[in-house]
A and B are shown apart, each in its own frame.
Chain A
């Protein structure tokens, strides 16, 4: 009974939505020879540019480059009509959290994988799961209901930010991380 409860609970707690398009980081990293910052750069003001626009993809995808269904879907639905893809952001924090990629990546010299796990090498996109109560992405809590043995990229609660900061003797006050 208990076991069934633990299996059922996540399914009740989260809604699952497929991403609007598929995307393989692996195909773009190795095959296309792109580095992370070509698509995920910073503005001169230090604002993280986030996820690239369709226009920046269209530089290469002005026509079909391969045979895959996922590319055809992307091309027909987004490139041709010139629409933006509303990517669902797995790591999206609540509005009142302030997170600075510039501080961690440019000054702290951290690797993306330290927080995002292997997403930068992934071949396909999993469905996006949203907490029915808070509306937050499941990746904030992480895949394990009891939060034990989480790996990088699996969960980023306040405690997880704090735990790493404690390890590395970083001191951030409430308003360093909140706004």
Chain B
């Protein structure tokens, strides 16, 4: 066995979401929770303390009386990944083979610095141990281990599905495969395109060229792109989360 036999071109997974196609139906959120074994919300859970790895947020524009829905998940920041740099446990890493920001519940101590650092509020803390109604455990996805109380979790572009695709390709003796995250598959209007941004010919690369990202100016290099013909959405994308006030020398 030598190095060559195991070498594989690194991928850089990304998404393009067409906001003009999203009807806000929420099918992606349901598919996401089922795929990732997110338990039904605890009775005391609020929007911030419950777990929604993928959220569909409604936004409005007063001037044009426009309404839009924005599917928001971990934006898989590739540059100076904020959550990674603040983690005292090295429980967050950007995977060299896929570009996916990995969150390791095994190593997480629950300090939640990463949640504060995340400009997209795409990280969630397990305030309660997961509990499923009797009988529902049998429907769990064996490819995704449930997380326990006290750790942070987030979207990882459905690694469980990637693993399954990898295993299937392996049966044909191959290391090459493609896969589709649950939200992409569930979307009835095909608003989400997923693929390898390193491949200039992929749908996702082509569509990403004509798109924008949320909070692009922070320079965190998100790999989730958005499209819309509505100018107010572009403006919104650059504005959400008030920009930091000018640094104050007095602290």
A positions within 8 Å CB-CB of B = 42, 44-47, 95-96, 98, 100, 102-103, 106-108, 168-176, 178-179
Whether the Cβ atoms of B95 and A175 lie closer than 8 Å is yes
Q: Please, which residue of chain A has its CB at the minimum distance from the CB of B167?
A: A46
B145 at the interface (CB under 8 A from A): yes
Give min CB distance, B128 to chain A, whole Å. 19
Give min CB distance, A161 to chain B, whole Å. 14
Whether the Cβ atoms of A46 and B145 lie closer than 8 Å is no
CA distance A86 to B108 in the complex (A): 33
B175 at the interface (CB under 8 A from A): yes
Consensus secondary structure, chain B interface: loop
Give min CB distance, A73 to chain B, whole Å. 31
CB contact under 8 A between A102 and B171, given known A96-B106, A178-B104, A179-B163: yes
Q: Please, which residue of chain A has its CB at the minimum distance from the CB of B90?
A: A174
Whether the Cβ atoms of B3 and A169 lie closer than 8 Å is yes
Q: Please, which residue of chain A has its CB at the minimum distance from the CB of B104?
A: A174
CB contact under 8 A between A98 and B98, given known A46-B170, A106-B171, A179-B144: no
CB contact under 8 A between A107 and B174, given known A102-B167, A175-B95: yes
20 contacts between A and B (CB under 8 A): A46-B164, A95-B146, A96-B105, A96-B145, A98-B163, A100-B163, A100-B167, A100-B170, A102-B166, A103-B166, A103-B167, A106-B171, A172-B97, A174-B93, A174-B102, A175-B95, A175-B100, A178-B145, A179-B159, A179-B160
B positions within 8 Å CB-CB of A = 1-3, 6, 93, 95-98, 100, 102, 104-106, 143-146, 156, 159-160, 163-164, 166-171, 173-175
Q: Please, which residue of chain B has its CB at the minimum distance from the CB of A95?
A: B145
Kindly identify which residue among B3, B98, B160 contacts A173, using a CB–CB cutoff of 8 Å. B98
Whether the Cβ atoms of A171 and B96 lie closer than 8 Å is yes
Whether the Cβ atoms of A106 and B173 lie closer than 8 Å is yes
Whether the Cβ atoms of A106 and B143 lie closer than 8 Å is no
17 more CB-based (< 8 A) A-B contacts, given A96-B106, A106-B171, A176-B95: A44-B168, A45-B164, A45-B167, A45-B171, A100-B163, A102-B166, A107-B170, A107-B173, A107-B175, A108-B1, A169-B2, A169-B6, A171-B6, A173-B95, A173-B96, A174-B93, A179-B144
CA distance A98 to B143 in the complex (A): 8
CA distance A168 to B2 in the complex (A): 7
Give min CB distance, A122 to chain B, whole Å. 27
CA distance A178 to B164 in the complex (A): 13
Q: Please, which residue of chain A has its CB at the minimum distance from the CB of B156?
A: A175
Kindly list chain A residues whose C-beta atoms are within 8 Å of the C-beta of B144.
Answer: 179
Give min CB distance, A99 to chain B, whole Å. 10
CA distance A108 to B2 in the complex (A): 11
Whether the Cβ atoms of B106 and A178 lie closer than 8 Å is yes
Pick from A46, A103, A106, A176 the residue with the most CB of B within 10 Å: A46
Whether the Cβ atoms of A103 and B170 lie closer than 8 Å is yes
CA distance A81 to B118 in the complex (A): 57
